[in-house]
Chain A
């Protein structure tokens, strides 16, 4: 049922049960918000979105007040503006004044609001926050001084990720947001996904930077600095430079990376192809030998830590395959180093990922063999943007270049890893071939594409029916795994990605993405898959060569040593 309400003296349509904010958004009428998160229940705590109900001159929060027939709303009356201004002035009263040194300088919602509301003097002086900076984690830095207590991180962590490692602590002016017992992030159940960074309006949450070490390595003549970038980076980086979402700029990125000083540039999608070779072989093996099923993907480090904490009994279900980042790192420092006659110890291997949890993954002790780390430093998409700007590279004015070979060619199956459902689709293409010796007639598995949190499909392989599921957002994974555990659902293979939509929406991506950006990034990946001819990992000529000349067969000795890993139950506060 819909009816009319008046906003700023103009009638607009409102639907029964929606909030004033919903109705106004549809008409393009904007009011500022802070604690509001799209598609989640309103909390109404920051009161930034107040509007005036003209009938009784009272201020109500647009985000949490349902529309009523005959309502008359003023969005920018003098009372409303005054009230919003006071809210921001109060938020600023105890906020540090170090914008120039802040990781979110020029990309901060508090800064924007202060500017929009023309706050030009410090009217309210409060005692500045002075709480410990938490640099204990491998991926995230928590600076509670900069926290304005909007609670968006708390809600994402609990409702989207199903982790709930942080919450409000204390009360009133003593309130902070943090892990239980005022501990640090490293002993909490934080899975390093970085979704809290994505929703943080200020610099209270950010990724841990590896810049100083990286820059010194780039200038060290004894080191060969190599770089790999994840499948989703080339379709996401453009937004860091104000270009529309979804543009694939891989060849420009290759050139930019070389200009910065990376001597060799690789696409992690090659590593993804390798992951598929191993993972598909493992799946076929498990099905044929009647081993633990469902097999669950293990390329997402956020999910892996989640499983180690919350589902330790299901660790045997996780594929033993390392993630594409780690496989790529491992072959760079073995096969590739051998080919180019380089000492693995002199290689500094950098990975650019849409993900903060990859920083954690790279330093897991299982990811080092014989004292050689697979990957030495991990940068997020955002950090790559910063690096390109720091080195003064004009990406609008640069000639495209290709990746380096060997390890330079990728299939489009490796590329679609960046989207939720992509790993599954790529694995199906190769597993089908491994079982039947033939190629699929139709590569596309429509049911597994898109942004739904949980997707399912049934596939016929000869006389075998394989049930698969794809989940993204760890809260969805929790729901699905509980169903699997109580026998309600049965699958052969499950893909889990921690972030909603997969890596294209990872915690290392551009902050403040435009509406529809994630869809655009996803479409860009599938467009690449449509356009290109090598659509399966097992048809990647360089993968074939790598197995022939170095690895042998999937799951055999060398592969096992380099490309597989193990997991263990973690002792953290749940």
Chain B
């Protein structure tokens, strides 16, 4: 992980504070999340307190602070999905996994995230698991979908 961070930082040789968000994005791209270690490293590199970086990172929805699960669930909360009940879907998944949006279940199998429109409005309400879309999900079908993934383990 440390090497990954180094590699990202090497892409920004000027070490300017202006690059903070691109750096964080790159790290998340590589590691899947922002670890404490990486935030501290970026702070050292940009000469910026960790509190400031954490403040910036938590301001934006795009940054995660826990590693992704093996299966990453994105619940679409775009307009069409919202109208067709994505809130209930999210609630059902949260109950099923015992985690909130932005978190990873303790067993590391699932992680959950709420996203804006993923451009599949015709399939609403839709969820995506590792990029595979599951269309017209209902509170009933969710259990089945999640169990299918669980059974693969």
Give residues in A with beta carbon < 8 Å to B. 158, 163-171, 179-181, 188-189, 573-574
User: Smallest CB–CB gap between B91 and chain A, Å?
Assistant: 18
Q: Does B52 contact A (CB under 8 A)?
A: yes
User: Smallest CB–CB gap between A570 and chain B, Å?
Assistant: 14
Docked complex Cα distance between A329 and B138 (Å): 70
User: Smallest CB–CB gap between A187 and chain B, Å?
Assistant: 10
Q: Is the CB of A574 within 8 A of B50?
A: yes
Q: Is the CB of B39 within 8 A of A158?
A: no
Query: Across the two chains, which residue of chain B brings its CB closest to A181?
Result: B36
Q: Is the CB of A180 within 8 A of B59?
A: no
Q: Give B3-60 interface residues, CB cut-off 8 Å to A.
A: 36, 39-40, 43-44, 49-55, 58-60
Q: Which residues of A contact B43 (CB under 8 A)?
A: 574
Known interface pairs A169-B58, A170-B59, A573-B36; A180-B53 also in contact (CB < 8 Å): yes
Known interface pairs A181-B39, A573-B36, A574-B40; A170-B58 also in contact (CB < 8 Å): yes
Give residues in B with beta carbon < 8 Å to A. 36, 39-40, 43-44, 49-55, 58-60, 65
Query: Across the two chains, which residue of chain A brings its CB closest to B43?
Result: A574
Q: Is the CB of B58 within 8 A of A165?
A: no
Ordered by A's residue number, 13 sampled pairs between the chains whose C-beta atoms are within 8 Å are: A164-B49, A167-B49, A168-B59, A169-B54, A179-B51, A180-B36, A180-B51, A180-B55, A181-B36, A181-B65, A188-B51, A189-B49, A574-B49
Q: A167 contacts which of B39, B51, B60, B65 (Cβ < 8 Å)?
A: B51
Query: Across the two chains, which residue of chain B brings its CB closest to A166?
Result: B51
Q: Is the CB of A573 within 8 A of B55?
A: no
Q: Is the CB of A164 within 8 A of B40?
A: no
Q: Which residues of B contact A166 (CB under 8 A)?
A: 51
Q: Is the CB of B50 within 8 A of A573?
A: yes
Docked complex Cα distance between A163 and B59 (Å): 21
User: Smallest CB–CB gap between A365 and chain B, Å?
Assistant: 26
Docked complex Cα distance between A477 and B65 (Å): 34
Rank and list the top 8 A-B pairs by shortest CB-CB distance, nearest first: A164-B49, A167-B55, A180-B54, A167-B51, A180-B50, A180-B51, A170-B58, A171-B59
Query: Across the two chains, which residue of chain B brings its CB closest to A157?
Result: B51
Q: B55 contacts which of A169, A188, A189 (Cβ < 8 Å)?
A: A169
Q: Which residues of A contact B59 (CB under 8 A)?
A: 168, 170-171
Query: Across the two chains, which residue of chain A brings its CB closest to B40?
Result: A573
Q: Which residues of A contact B55 (CB under 8 A)?
A: 167-169, 180
Docked complex Cα distance between A30 and B39 (Å): 43
Known interface pairs A170-B59, A171-B59, A573-B36; A165-B65 also in contact (CB < 8 Å): no
The residue in A168, A180, A573 that gathers the most chain B C-beta atoms within 10 A of its C-beta is: A180
Docked complex Cα distance between A574 and B51 (Å): 8
Q: Which residues of A contact B58 (CB under 8 A)?
A: 169-171
Q: Which residues of B contact A179 (CB under 8 A)?
A: 51
Docked complex Cα distance between A573 and B35 (Å): 13
The residue in B36, B58, B59 that gathers the most chain A C-beta atoms within 10 A of its C-beta is: B58
Q: Is the CB of A181 within 8 A of B49?
A: no
Query: Across the two chains, which residue of chain A brings its CB closest to B35?
Result: A181
Query: Across the two chains, which residue of chain B brings its CB closest to A174?
Result: B58
User: Smallest CB–CB gap between A541 and chain B, Å?
Assistant: 49
Docked complex Cα distance between A259 and B59 (Å): 53
User: Smallest CB–CB gap between B64 and chain A, Å?
Assistant: 13
Q: Which residues of A contact B49 (CB under 8 A)?
A: 158, 163-165, 167, 180, 189, 574
Q: Which residues of B contact A164 (CB under 8 A)?
A: 49, 51-52
User: Smallest CB–CB gap between A430 and chain B, Å?
Assistant: 39
User: Smallest CB–CB gap between B19 and chain A, Å?
Assistant: 19
User: Smallest CB–CB gap between B82 and chain A, Å?
Assistant: 18
Docked complex Cα distance between A232 and B44 (Å): 38
Docked complex Cα distance between A497 and B29 (Å): 44
Query: Across the two chains, which residue of chain B brings its CB closest to A172?
Result: B59
Docked complex Cα distance between A574 and B50 (Å): 6
Query: Across the two chains, which residue of chain A brings its CB closest to B39?
Result: A180
Query: Across the two chains, which residue of chain B brings its CB closest to A176?
Result: B58
Docked complex Cα distance between A189 and B49 (Å): 10
Docked complex Cα distance between A169 and B54 (Å): 7
Q: A165 contacts which of B36, B40, B51, B53 (Cβ < 8 Å)?
A: B51
Docked complex Cα distance between A179 and B51 (Å): 6
Query: Across the two chains, which residue of chain B brings its CB closest to A169?
Result: B58
User: Smallest CB–CB gap between B54 and chain A, Å?
Assistant: 4
User: Smallest CB–CB gap between A312 and chain B, Å?
Assistant: 14
Docked complex Cα distance between A166 and B52 (Å): 8
User: Smallest CB–CB gap between A153 and chain B, Å?
Assistant: 12
Q: Which residues of A contact B39 (CB under 8 A)?
A: 180-181
Query: Across the two chains, which residue of chain B brings its CB closest to A183?
Result: B36
Query: Across the two chains, which residue of chain B brings its CB closest to A178?
Result: B51
Docked complex Cα distance between A336 and B52 (Å): 49
Given contacts A158-B49, A180-B49, 18 further A-B contacts (CB under 8 A): A164-B49, A164-B52, A165-B51, A167-B49, A167-B54, A169-B55, A169-B58, A170-B58, A170-B59, A171-B59, A171-B60, A180-B36, A180-B55, A181-B36, A181-B39, A181-B65, A189-B49, A574-B43
